[in-house]
Structure 1
Amino acid sequence: MELRVEGLACRRGEAVVLRDVGFVLAPGEALILRGPNGAGKTTMLRALAGLTPPVAGTISAPQEAMAYGAHADGLKAQLTVAENLTFWAAAFGTSGIGPAVAAFDLGALLDRRTADLSAGQKRRASLARMVLTGRPIWLLDEPTVSLDAANVARFAAAVSTHLEAGGSALIATHIDLGLAETRVLDVTQFAARAAARREADPFAEAIE
């Protein structure tokens, strides 16, 4: 499923931080969001996921086609990894947790309480939820935080498998995941102040 975004404006609190955001994300493609901290990457992803209403613009794909992986792990601390994954599989109507377990090498952790896991192990269990959603468009916010090199590679492999199956991914990250069919989108070009300056003086960029 194609994701087409046109004229999107996003608000953080009371302040509009992004304006005139536009891009197309095709099936089988990954789009990497870049920009410094505070540039609006999380704000954009939350707007696309339907968690923060956009100020303006259109989003072509329905929210039920998108799966959002945020900074928070989204796991119940007192449940085991298996119980957490089984809960999410049931929530999304997925049959079985096997593919998610295999993708993130969670077999040895299934019987452990999430509260007893390391930060990296929790992140792996959290990312495994994306496989369970069955949704074609993945929205991921700094997904590799707390992962070592081997598990960054596992994550990249899971994304590649998703892309090969016709899914797509929009990923805010500062690292190179080595994914095929990848483009980079720098969100600083959509900063609200820059957009307002362009509207006030369309020749401003030409003389800066």
Structure 2
Amino acid sequence: MPNTLELEHLACQRGDNLLLADLNWRFQSGDFVQIEGKNGIGKTSLLRILTGLARPLHGKVRWNFTEISECREDYQYDLLYLGHLSGIKPELTAWENLKFYQQASHCWQGDDVFWQALQNVELLGREDIMASQLSAGQQKRIGLARLWLSKAPLWILDDPFNAIDKHGVKMLITHLEQHCQQGGIVILTSHQDVESTMLQKVRLDCYRTSGEIQ
């Protein structure tokens, strides 16, 4: 059955400032979407609302026609969110972090998939090094490796191409396209040009507002 993520009359705030208002969007299986807008417009704040990590000022987010606050467990099971932070455990190695993610997300695929995931993010040879001893960019890549393990249909990614080279960007875009071709949904932000014929771009500028919340 196709999946659907809906935003209805959504408004987003930061502190006392109203950033965005009256967002009415629908994303469905197969959609590959980049949310665009200048710095500070509210892209990350919006993604956090979509993941359930923050609440909108008003409006609703629905996953398969049910508000995400009412299906939180099922929604989190269907969601993979990669934010600005790497989202890894620094006391574990790269391999152990992927093992932990596999167990926590119930995506049993066998250990062989780890080698391919680590190769895809150029971490082969560093799989037994504690994450705390790796660079910030390498830690970010451990998080990205989860994209090759995840069976979640909805991927929400905040600037996923940061800290990877051009070859890695191309490989990641291909993987995101494949996820959408298989019925997944990808919603992302990026400071880089994303070259894909499948990509839809949504700009936040026309939803921008200003002033204090009354």
User: How does the TM-score come out when normalised to structure 2?
Assistant: 0.83
Matched residue type, 1:3: L
Q: Residues 8 and 181 of structure 1: is their aligned pair in 2 closer, same or farther, counting only changes over 3 Å? A: same
CA distance in 2, matches of 1:14, 1:150: 42
Q: Percent identity?
A: 31
CA distance in 1, matches of 2:122, 2:176: 15
SS of equivalent to 1:143: coil
2:83 aligns with 70
2:132 aligns with 115
Q: Residues 103 and 148 of structure 1: is their aligned pair in 2 closer, same or farther, counting only changes over 3 Å? A: closer
Query: How far apart are residue 88 of structure 1 and its match?
Result: 0.8
Q: Deviations over 1:69-102 (max 9, x none)?
A: 1000011222110001111111100113516335
Q: Residues 28 and 83 of structure 1: is their aligned pair in 2 closer, same or farther, counting only changes over 3 Å? A: same
The answer as to 2:159 corresponding to 1:142 is yes
Query: How far apart are residue 105 of structure 1 and its match?
Result: 4.2
1:201 aligns with none
1:87 aligns with 100
1:39 aligns with 41
The answer as to 2:172 corresponding to 1:130 is no
Contact 2:94 2:131 in 1 (8 A): yes
| Greater helix share, structure number | 1
* Matched residue count: 195
CA distance in 2, matches of 1:83, 1:150: 25
SS of equivalent to 1:107: coil
**Unmatched segments (≥5 aa) in structure 1:** 197-208
Matched residue type, 2:56: P
CA distance in 2, matches of 1:16, 1:75: 32
SS of equivalent to 2:210: helix
Q: Deviations over 1:28-70 (max 9, x none)?
A: 1211011111000001000010011111112221432322110
User: How does the TM-score come out when normalised to structure 1?
Assistant: 0.85
1:152 aligns with 169
Query: How far apart are residue 177 of structure 1 and its match?
Result: 2.2
The answer as to 2:189 corresponding to 1:172 is yes
CA distance in 1, matches of 2:147, 2:41: 25
Structure 2 counterpart of 1:100, from 81, 97, 117: 117
Contact 1:92 1:132 in 2 (8 A): no
Contact 1:120 1:148 in 2 (8 A): no
RMSD: 2.0
Identify the range of structure 1 (123-132 vs 94-103) with the bigger mean alpha-carbon deviation.
94-103
